[in-house]
Amino acid sequence: MATILASKLRHIATDKDLRTRILFIFFMLLIFRLGANIPIPGVDVARLASFLAGNQLFGLLNIFSGGGLSNLSLFMLGVSPYITASIIMQLLSMIFPRVREMMHEEGTAGRKKLTQYSRFLTVPLAVIQAFGLLTLLKNSGALGELTFFDQMYNVTLVVAGSLFLMWIGELMTERGIGNGVSLIIFAGIVASLPQAIAQLFVTFDVTQIPLYLGFVVIAVLVVAGVVIITEAERPIPITYAKRVRGMRVYGGVSTYLPLRVNQAGVIPIIFALSILLFPQMIVNYFSTSTNEIIQSVASFMATLIQNTWFYGTFYFVLVFLFTYFYTAVTFDPNAIATNLQKSGAFVPGVRPGDPTASHIAGILTRITLVGALFLGVIAVLPFVMQAVTGNQSLAIGGTGLLIVVSVVLDLIKRVDAQLGMREY
C-alpha cells in the first residue's frame, strides 16, 4: 500500500498538467479561506457566538458556508444559494416535461442550459437568503444598530461573495480536479476540525480514557461503513442484441447497469433538516407573544422539539421518506428502459419496454430501503453519541461526514483516472 501511494505521489509530482490542476485547486481554496475570515461591517462577535450556540439550522448553513457564517464573513452564504437553485431545477423536472427533457434526453447541451438557469436562479435566492439572515441576526442583536443603507450594503457584499464563490467553484471544476462546489464545502468542513480537536483536548478527562478509546473504535467503524455504503452498487446485467451488417456481426456484448445503494447522496438530510428546523423558528417567534394561549402552545412545542428522542425519531423518519422521494425524482426507470430498447439492449429474461422498467424499479425500491436506513442512522448518529457519552465533542456522523467521504472518494477516482490516461 505504501509503495503504491509513493508511486502515485511521484507520478503526480512529475506530471506537469496534473500538478498544475492540483496547485490551482489549492490556490482557489486559499482565496476561499481568506474571504471566509473577512467579516462584514457591524458584527458583534460576543452576541453572534451566543446566538449561534446550539442552533442547528445555522450549524447546517455554517457547513455549506465553510465556516463563513460563524463570523459573518463575506462568504457567509457559501454556495448554499447555488445548491438550492440546483435542487429546485431538479424538482422542476418532475413538474415540467420540458425541463425533464433537458435533463434526461438532450445530453450535454441540455445540462448546460440547466446549469445556466441555475446560475440565474442563484441571484434572487442569494438576495432573499442574505436579507433574511441579516435581518434575523440584526433583530437578535448580533449585528448591532445598522441603518437601512448599511443593511443593503451588507446584503450586496454577501450576495457578491456568494456569486464569487459560485464562479470559483465552476473554475475549479473546469481547470482543477473534481467538483468545485463540493471541494469548497469539503474545505470548510475540514477547516473546522482543528477547533473541534482543540475543544476535545480542553475537556479531556483522564478518567474517561476508555470512553475516548471506544469513541475512536466506533468512529473508524462508522467511516468504514460510510465508505462501503457510498461505493456499494447493485449491478443489473445488460446484453446487446447481435446485428449483422454486411460481413460483420455487431453487438452480443454483455455488460451491466450499476444502481447505487445511496442514490440520493446527502440531499435527503438537507431536506429533512430544512423541514424539521422551520417549526423551531416559528416556535421561537411566537414564544414571546403576549397572548397566553399562543405562548403556552409555543412553550409546549419548544419543549417537545428539544426532547432528543422525539427530535431524533422524527428526523430519522423524514430522512427515510425524503430518500425515496429524491431517488424517484432523479432516477427514471422508464427513461432507462426506453434508452436500452433504442440501443438494442435488454435485461436477460425480461421483455423490453414496460417490463424492463418495472424490473429496474423493483430492484431500485429494494436497494433504496438499505440506502434510506443508512442515511437515517448516519443523520441521527451524532445525537445518539452525544446522549450516550454526555460529551458534546464526542459526535460523529451527520452531513459533514457524508460530504467529506464522498468528496475524498471522488477525488481519488479522478486522480487515478488522470494517472491512467498519462500511462496510456
Query: Which tens digits make up the pLDDT trace of 172-181?
Result: 888 888 788 8
Instruction: Give me the residue spans of the domains in the chain.
Output: 15-191, 199-424
pLDDT band with cut points at 50, 70 and 90 for residue 287 = low
Neighbour-count burial of 123, counting CB atoms closer than 10 A to its CB (0-12 exposed, 13-18 middle, 19+ buried): middle
pLDDT over threshold 70, residue 383: yes
The mean pLDDT of 155-173, rounded to a whole number, is 89
Q: Of 395, 393, 391, 361, nearest to 378 (Cα)?
A: 395
As a whole number of angstroms, the distance between CA 112 and CA 393 comes to 43
Beta bridge partners of residue 39, listed in sequence order: 73
Q: Mean pLDDT, to the nearest integer, of 263-269?
A: 79
> Exposed, middle or buried, 259 (CB in 10 Å: 0-12/13-18/19+)?
buried
CATH architecture type of domain 199-424? Orthogonal Bundle (1.10)
- Reported as type and span, the H/E element at residue 248 is strand 248-250
Residue 48 burial class via C-beta count within 10 angstroms: exposed 0-12, middle 13-18, buried 19 and up: buried
Check pLDDT > 80 for residue 360.
Answer: yes
Which pLDDT band holds residue 248 (cuts at 50, 70, 90)? low
Give me the pLDDT at residue 164, please.
92
pLDDT digits (tens, 9 = 90+) for 171-226: 988 888 878 888 888 887 787 777 767 777 777 666 777 777 877 888 888 888 88
Most confident of 3-7, 171-175, 403-407: 171-175
Q: Which pLDDT does position 17 carry in this prediction?
A: 78
Torsion of CA 171, 121, 99, 182, to 10 degrees: 40
Other Cβ atoms less than 10 A from the Cβ of 81: the count is: 27
pLDDT at 401: 78
- N- to C-terminal Cα distance for the chain? 22
Averaged pLDDT, 349-365: 88
When mean pLDDT is compared across 51-60, 69-78, 357-366, 374-383, the lowest value belongs to 51-60
What is the predicted pLDDT for the residue at 176? 81
- pLDDT for the residue 137: 73
Same fold, 15-191 and 199-424: yes
Query: At residue 30, does pLDDT exceed 80?
Result: yes
In the CATH scheme, what is the code of domain 15-191? 1.10.3370.10
**pTM recorded for the entire structure:** 0.77
Q: Could you tell me the CA-to-CA distances from 214 to 204, 219, 220 in Å, in that order?
A: 14, 9, 10
Grid cell digits, residue 34: 481568506
What is the chain's length?
424
**pLDDT, mean over the chain:** 78
CA angle 46, 62, 170 (to 5 degrees): 135
pLDDT for residue 343: 79
Q: Report d(CA 201, CA 179) in Å as an integer.
A: 34
Residue type at 97? P
Q: Over 60: is that where the pLDDT of 337 sits?
A: yes
Burial of 13 (0-12, 13-18, 19+ CB in 10 A): exposed
The tens digit of pLDDT for each residue in 118-152 reads 889 889 988 888 887 787 777 666 676 777 788 88
- What is residue 73's DSSP assignment? B
